[in-house]
Structure 1
Amino acid sequence: MLKHVLRVLAIVVVIAIGVVVYLAWPDKAEVPLAQVTGARPEITAPRVQTIPTVKVAKAVGWPAGAKPTPAAGLQVAAFAEGLDHPRWLYRLPNGDVLVAETNSPPREGPGLVTSVMNFLMGRAGAGVPSANRITLLRDANGDGVAETRSVFMSGLNSPFGMALLDGQLYVANTDALVRVPYTEGQTRITARPETVVKLNPAGNHWARNVIAAADGKTLFVSVGSASNIAEKGMAAEKYRANILQVWPDGNWRVFAAGLRNPNGMALNPVTRNLWTVVNERDMLGSDLAPDYLTQVEFGDHFGWPWYYWGGYPDPRVEPKNPSLQEYSKRPDYALGPHVAALGLTFADDVKLGSRFATGAFIGEHGSWNRTPVSGYKVVFIPFAANGYPVPNAKPVDVLTGFLDKDGEAMGRPVGVIGDRTGAMLVADDVGNKIWRVTGR
């Protein structure tokens, strides 16, 4: 009898879930993506979802001989292949390139959310264990292919960002900013990393970035939120959704807040101010909220979780915070909803000709919850002479073709930097390659 009751209850639950899914999923975009980009994006009414749209491109890898499609006048080739989930890149002063081969720590614990996230990560090619290492690539003969590869650091904890400051190499693990002494030309670090600052680990956003500040004395460290809209409570978000400013002696402060997941960071070559790209919130529909590129100044608050795009309230967030609305800073440039903007570098680092001479290059990892999908490419944002995006300018495709004709992901771009010649290097964590883009 009990087995029969449990069987009936299970059927009822399955039917109920099916009804909810039918009513709430998937949400389809109602506005062209281009209208949700630029300095003045179209911000439509939110379509709150109980169950998110799930539309992630299945990771299939690159067929033999296949590669991404560069913009007209550019060409692309593999700089390195056979890596293990390469996410982030850093160029050392002698031209060597460091690659963080890394992934999220295991997502553990009971519950539907954990199960769904593990499924999505696996489908998107991110379900592999983290290699937890940094690999050094060297192109000594200058032919555009790294002929030397060595394990530079190992035994790390989901490492991501890397930065040199005063002879020390700083590495942003998921749970701490650490450092080791560095001598130019080294191909392997054996020193035990020293902890500079402990960071709140993992959560929804595990990747921590680090760059040296313009003052040459401090570092900026990005720490994403633990959740979508603080549904686990604000106590779980303490010192998250922030960019921290860290001193080498271990002192630190919150530099800016309300940034759901700031990832790529770079210094604007004109103003020397900090800029970042940010992944915005989910489950407001396929048209909201736009990921963005923005300048970040000390004391800024960009509204998360209460507000998006400079003051639009998220009706789901409790308790409310009405006093913050007028102080929520509006970002400088919308990149479109759910593009998963991760990589960022400016054109002083990448030299691809006059069309791309002034502006920012952004690696868009690609959406998992939008119909149709967005991102899955590298774009260029033109900047004016004043150091801000050109008014009314739209993103320009630089490297596309990461999806095949069936919409499956042969690759997904993440970190973007320039090599010592000015060519653009792009980390592809699904294709397990580093692509090199040059002018013809």
Structure 2
Amino acid sequence: MGQLTLFGGLLVLVSTLTDYVSAQSSCPGTGNERFQLKLGNGYRYSKLATGLRSPRHMAVDTEGNLLVAEAGGGTVRRFVLEDQGDIVCAQSNTQIISGQATNHGIVLSADGKTLFTSNLATVKAYDYNAATGQVGQGKDIVTGMSVTGGHPTRTVTTSKWNPDTILVARGSLGNIDAPTTDQAVARSIIKSFSISKGLQTPLDYARDGEVLAWGLRNIVGVTEDPVFGGIWSVENQMDQVHINGRDIHNDNPAERLSYHGVLNDTENRYKGLNYGYPSCVPAWDPENVGINGLLVGSLFKPDGVPEVPDGECANRMTGRLHFPAHTAPLDIKFNSNGTAAYIAFHGSWNRNPADGYRVMRVDFGPDGQPVQPVTSKTAQVPVFENSQMANCPMSCFRPAGLAFDQKGRLFVSSDTSGDIYVIYGA
């Protein structure tokens, strides 16, 4: 029989305690497992690599090799993979790009022949040969993003439905970035750029490109649904929120999964919408906010943010699903048939007790939308997580990046611990 179980403020339905099975299988040289990890029903895992320098986002090339952005070195590492029994291991492991090429973002073009990386200032493009691992000279295609302070990630995503497009997300300068009420500031925003134009002449982030969505505080994961072509993002919302002088930050605001439509849809009604930040944030625990009629995901105005007219928050776009406060989703990837999206929750730094530090699944229906309603608190299905979080954030599994290969294996990076895991059964 099923039972509702509480995971850090989130109710999820699990069938029995056997849904979580501690299991470990490691590739040679990866050492003993340091963390007590547990799995959702039907999954198993192995450790592929350890000792990396803050691995973040990842990509799998057309030959099945794994490419990893190492934020700690600004480098890209290439793992040539081979099956060893019922797990996958690295046949070789080499650095293919250096020189502070990336601090987070990495993605391949739709044809797999161009590799893109991002750092604070630029998005770079490299000719890439998947068979040999040869990488050409890097070329800046988007520039003008460097600032002092603020969120450092510059998430990059390409489109198989619109192959000349690259999406670049840029977060806020601070917790409450008041100037972002002006779209021209070009922060807390997702913009699309023409790859071919950028290869001819570098494009300026603020001046060029098109706005896909704005009013999103810190977008760290963006992906495309492989079946319908819809663009989805996961966002880290505001910290230290108060309302009417009362501290409500422990359980508000919600983190957010947002839908941005299909890039090549000329009538995309989601294109260019404002999602509220910095003036309006989504509720996770409406009762704690204390506003009558507020639901999960409803936008409200906290203390200390730029003023908006009464009722204006209700006119801004909100997310398609919402997640517990401060769980910090850093990446999202769909399985090949679009029936599920997997999300890496990096974990909280300012919540008591700590929450996050897990990979979860959101199920999607035949219409290309989540099966759960906007107000759901049970949309997440447990996949892979720490069994206890007393040592988090610094001494635990802390997922940052996700990547599927052609065999349906899900690669997960843990940046704090420097590990790469593989989940089977996703």
AA aligned to 1:291 is E
AA aligned to 1:419 is D
Among 52, 55, 59, the alignment partner of 1:90 is 59
Write the distance in 2 (CA, Å) between the matches of 1:233 and 1:415: 27
The residue aligned with 2:352 is 371
The answer to whether structure 1 residue 416 and structure 2 residue 402 are counterparts is: yes
SS in 2 for 1:411: coil
Q: 1:188-199 residue pairs with structure 2 within 5 A? A: 188-199=134-145
Q: 1:76-225 residue pairs with structure 2 within 5 A? A: 76-102=45-71, 130-141=72-83, 143-165=87-109, 167-201=113-147, 203-213=149-159, 214-225=161-172
Q: CA deviation at 1:148?
A: 0.7
Write the distance in 2 (CA, Å) between the matches of 1:311 and 1:281: 12
Q: CA deviation at 1:274?
A: 0.5
Q: Deviations over 1:133-153 (max 9, x none)?
A: 010111145650112111110
The answer to whether structure 1 residue 274 and structure 2 residue 231 are counterparts is: yes
Among 280, 289, 313, the alignment partner of 1:307 is 280
% of aligned pairs identical?
24
The residue aligned with 2:251 is 287
Change (3 A) 1:32 1:77: closer
Write the distance in 2 (CA, Å) between the matches of 1:32 and 1:421: 32
Change (3 A) 1:189 1:307: same
Q: CA deviation at 1:159?
A: 3.0
Say which one has the larger Rg: 1
Q: CA deviation at 1:188?
A: 4.2
Q: CA deviation at 1:325?
A: 2.6
Change (3 A) 1:404 1:332: closer
Where in structure 2 are there 5+ consecutive unaligned residues?
Answer: 1-6, 14-29, 198-202, 242-248, 261-269, 283-297
AA aligned to 2:9 is L
Q: CA deviation at 1:375?
A: 0.4
Q: CA deviation at 1:324?
A: 4.6
Q: 1:233-244 residue pairs with structure 2 within 5 A? A: 238-244=185-191
Q: Deviations over 1:235-263 (max 9, x none)?
A: 89910100011112134122210000111
SS in 2 for 1:146: strand
- Normalised to the residue count of structure 2, the TM-score between the two structures is 0.76
AA aligned to 2:62 is P
Change (3 A) 1:267 1:407: closer
Among 381, 389, 396, the alignment partner of 2:381 is 396
Write the distance in 2 (CA, Å) between the matches of 1:92 and 1:161: 15
AA aligned to 2:330 is L
Q: Are the aligned partners of 1:226 and 1:236 in contact in 2 as well (CA < 8 Å)?
A: no
Q: Are the aligned partners of 2:223 and 2:333 in contact in 1 as well (CA < 8 Å)?
A: yes
Q: Are the aligned partners of 1:88 and 1:100 in contact in 2 as well (CA < 8 Å)?
A: yes
Q: CA deviation at 1:160?
A: 2.0
The residue aligned with 2:4 is none
Change (3 A) 1:321 1:268: farther
Name the count of aligned residue pairs.
352
Where in structure 1 are there 5+ consecutive unaligned residues?
Answer: 1-30, 39-61, 103-129, 350-356
Change (3 A) 1:404 1:290: closer
Q: Which has the higher strand share?
A: 2
Change (3 A) 1:240 1:83: same
The residue aligned with 1:46 is none
Write the distance in 2 (CA, Å) between the matches of 1:220 and 1:402: 36
The residue aligned with 1:127 is none
Write the distance in 1 (CA, Å) between the matches of 2:58 and 2:365: 27
SS in 2 for 1:145: strand
Q: CA deviation at 1:414?
A: 0.7
Change (3 A) 1:63 1:97: closer
Q: Does 199-208 or 219-228 show the bigger shift?
A: 199-208
Q: Are the aligned partners of 1:226 and 1:237 in contact in 2 as well (CA < 8 Å)?
A: no
